Amino acid sequence: MSERISVQRRFNGPPQSAHGGYICGLIAGATGANVRVRLFHPPPLETEFAVVPRPPDEWRVTHGKDTIASAVRTELRVQVPQAPTYLQAMDVSLRFPGFKRDVFSDCFVCGQHRKRGDGLRVFPGSVAGSIVYAAPWLPGGDLADAAGKVRPEFIWSVLDCPGYYASFTDLRPALLGEFTVHIDRLVHADEACVVIGWPILVEGRKHKVGTALFDAEGERCALGVATWVETKPASGEK
C-alpha cells in the first residue's frame, strides 16, 4: 500500500519547487527504511505524491503517471572531518557566500531573506585551513514532535544545503540529484548544534558531498551524503 506525502509552500528550495532535503526526508519517512533517494525532477509544491513500494528494497514516488523520485534501501559509510565548536561555527557563518551574492535567498534552509521562525537560516561559511564549511543551528520548537525532538525531515533538510556551498564555492547553479541520510539520534528543539559540509568527489557535472550534524558536545547526531548535479547553461550562455 502506498503512502501519500506533499510539501507545503513554506518548505521550498528554488522558489517553485520543494526543498530537496525536506522532500527526501519525507520520502524516507514514508518508506520506514534507511534509503538513498534519487530526484528525477524538481518536485512541485502543494502537490500530493504517492510513495509506492516495489519489494523488496525499492520505492517509487509518483504523481499521476510521472515518476518524481525513487528510493532504494542502503547503508551509509563515509569518513567525517572534525567539526568546529558552536562558537567557531558562529564565527565562520559570518563568511556565508550568500551574504555577498544572491543565490538561494528564499530557500527554507539557507535563504537569508527568510525570517526567524520561518526558515532555518543555516548560513555555512568556510573554516580556515580546511575543506569544511560549517554553520551553527538552533532548531525551533515548531520543528519538533510531541516529545520535543526535531522531526527527521528537518534533519534531512539541514544536512542538504551545506554540502552545496562546500563543493560549489563559486556558487555555480546545481540541483540535488541523490541524497542519503543516517540519523544517529534526533536532536532536541533549542539544542545548540553545528552542521558541516565537505566535498568528496567531482565527476564531470556530478559533485559528491558529505554533511554531518553535531551537538554542542561535538557528538555526531546525523550524517548525509549527496550528489549534486551542475545545471547545463541555457542556450547561448557559456
CATH number where 191 lies: 3.10.129.10
Q: What is the pLDDT of residue 103?
A: 86
How many CB atoms are closer than 10 A to CB 13?
A: 28
- Look up the domain containing 11 and give its range: 3-73
In the listed set 15, 46, 73, which residue is the last one of a domain according to the structure?
73
Residues pairing with 52 in the sheet:
60
Residues 108 and 212 in one domain: yes
Q: Which helix (H) or strand (E) holds 70?
A: strand 66-73
Residues 111 and 222 in one domain: yes
Residues 19 and 128 in one domain: no
Number of compact structural domains in the chain? 2
Residues 45 and 137 in one domain: no
Q: What is the pLDDT of residue 82?
A: 94
In the listed set 28, 50, 73, which residue is the last one of a domain according to the structure?
73
Residue 36 falls inside a structural domain: yes
Q: What is the CA radius of gyration of the chain?
A: 17
The model's pTM is: 0.96
Distance between alpha carbon 195 and the CA centroid of its chain, in Å?
A: 11
Residues 122 and 19 in one domain: no
Residues 130 and 207 in one domain: yes
Residues 225 and 152 in one domain: yes
Residues 55 and 158 in one domain: no
Q: Which helix (H) or strand (E) holds 73?
A: strand 66-73
Instruction: List CB contacts of 26: < 8 A, sequence separation 6 or more.
Output: 5, 7, 153
Nine cell digits for residue 47: 502537490
- The C-alpha angle 33, 39, 41, rounded to 5 degrees, equals 145
Distance between alpha carbon 27 and the CA centroid of its chain, in Å?
A: 13
Residues 110 and 148 in one domain: yes
Nine cell digits for residue 221: 547526531
Nine cell digits for residue 116: 526567524
Q: What is the pLDDT of residue 1?
A: 76
In the listed set 73, 102, 117, which residue is the last one of a domain according to the structure?
73
Q: Using an 8 Å Cβ cutoff, are 2 and 50 in contact?
A: yes
Q: What is the pLDDT of residue 102?
A: 86
Residue 195 falls inside a structural domain: yes
Q: What is the pLDDT of residue 233?
A: 65
Burial (0-12, 13-18, 19+ Cβ within 10 Å), 4: exposed
Q: What is the pLDDT along the chain (238 residues), one digit of tens a residue?
A: 789 999 999 999 999 999 999 999 999 999 999 999 999 999 999 999 999 999 999 999 999 999 999 999 999 999 999 999 999 999 999 999 999 998 899 999 999 999 999 999 999 999 999 999 999 999 999 999 999 999 999 999 999 999 999 999 999 999 999 999 999 999 999 999 999 999 999 999 999 999 999 998 999 999 999 999 999 765 444 4
Q: What is the pLDDT of residue 234?
A: 55
Residues pairing with 50 in the sheet:
4, 62
**Polymer length in residues for the chain:** 238
Residues 179 and 143 in one domain: yes
Q: What is the pLDDT of residue 232?
A: 78
Q: Hunting for cell 510521472 — which residue is that?
A: 66
Residues 92 and 69 in one domain: no
- The C-alpha angle 51, 29, 84, rounded to 5 degrees, equals 135
Residues 95 and 185 in one domain: yes
